């Protein structure tokens, strides 16, 4: 069964550094998402991406964040200058829009630790 993959599984970085989190969505999917989950808290929407541009973004997704689909398979989330409060689990998700198939398939997540 096809699945969403994410790399790395765990990333440790120093405050102020740039990080890129990578995701490979399911190949025939059209919509892509990033969510984050601070430890012990609920999952929060960051951004959605469709047709090579951002569709929606939350208040969390400020100028420090950017997304890109550089090569038609990867979907990346970049944090330009990480802060301690960016420490969280970051989930990528994707979905197709064929008929009623609105399920979002989640990747296993990348644990980001900012020190």
Partner 1 sequence: AQTVTQSQPEMSVQEAETVTLSCTYDTSESDYYLFWYKQPPSRQMILVIRQEAYKQQNATENRFSVNFQKAAKSFSLKISDSQLGDAAMYFCAYRISYGGSQGNLIFGKGTKLSVKP
Task: Report if residue 25 touches partner 1, rule: CB under 8 A.
Answer: no
Considering only 42, 70, 72, 99, the residue that binds partner 1 (CB under 8 A) is 42
Among 21, 95, 112, 114, binds partner 1 (CB under 8 A): 95
Name the residue among 47, 57, 66, 113 with its Cα closest to residue 86: 113
Q: What are phi and psi of 97, to 5 degrees?
A: -130, 40
Of 26, 50, 60, 96, the one binding partner 1 (CB under 8 A) is: 50
CA 22 from chain centre, in angstroms, equals 8
CB of 49 to partner 1, least distance (A): 8
Burial classification of residue 34, based on how many CB atoms lie within 10 Å of its CB (0-12 exposed, 13-18 middle, 19 or more buried): buried
Q: Which of 27, 41, 81, 113 binds partner 1 (CB under 8 A)?
A: 41
Q: Is position 107 an interface residue for partner 1 (rule: CB under 8 A)?
A: yes
């Amino acid at each position: 069964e096809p699945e969403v993959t994410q790399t790395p599984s765990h990333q440790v970085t120093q405050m102020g550094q740039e990080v890129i989190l990578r995701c490979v969505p399911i190949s025939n999917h059209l919509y892509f998402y990033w969510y984050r989950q601070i430890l012990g808290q609920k999952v929060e929407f960051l951004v959605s991406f469709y047709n090579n541009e951002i569709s929606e973004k939350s208040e969390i997704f400020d100028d420090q964040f950017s997304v890109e689909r550089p090569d038609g398979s990867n979907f990346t989330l970049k944090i330009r200058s990480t802060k301690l409060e960016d420490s969280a689990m970051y989930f990528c998700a994707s979905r197709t829009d064929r008929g009623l198939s609105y399920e979002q398939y989640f990747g296993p997540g990348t644990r980001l630790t900012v020190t």
